[in-house]
Amino acid sequence: MKQQPALVSISIVSHQQGALVAALLSDIAAHCSLPLEVILTLNVPETLPFDVEAYPFPIKMVTNATRRGFGANHNAAFIRAGAPHFCVLNPDIRIEEDVFLPLIKALADRTLVSWGR
């Protein structure tokens, strides 16, 4: 079965925070209904306590040769992103409900936005 194109690219950067990343990825898998992709950047060497293939969404892995800063890591992830929407999540975030579907609906509702008017 062909996977739908991602609507949201999520950037997560880990600094030896594999357990937190695992909890966040499990939350995303359990609660998020939109097709999405995760770009996971390992900013320092670490062994992850999970299999990236075990999730219902693709995880693009980036392993830095040297430490990079917050902006540099997420900007590099943005370049790799394939979805029309981009989200930065810290590893310690917990998701208890589907947060992306309401956000995408709100962005599509032109009565809620007045950018440039």
pLDDT at 1 over 60: no
pLDDT tens for 17-76 read 999 999 999 999 999 999 999 999 999 999 999 999 999 999 999 999 999 999 999 999
Residue 92: left if φ>0, alpha if ψ -120 to 50, beta else—which one? alpha
Tokens 């306590």 locate to 49
Task: Report which DSSP code applies to 87.
Answer: E
Residues 6+ apart with CB under 8 A from 34: 7, 8, 98, 100, 101, 104
Q: How far is CA 54 from CA 44, 51, 59, 101, in A?
A: 22, 5, 10, 23
Listed by start position, the domains of the chain span 8-108
Q: Which CATH architecture has domain 8-108?
A: Alpha-Beta Complex (3.90)
Q: Taking the C-alpha atoms of 108, 111, 114 and 116 in order, what is their torsion angle to the nearest 10 degrees?
A: 70
pLDDT in the model for residue 113: 61
pLDDT at 106 over 60: yes
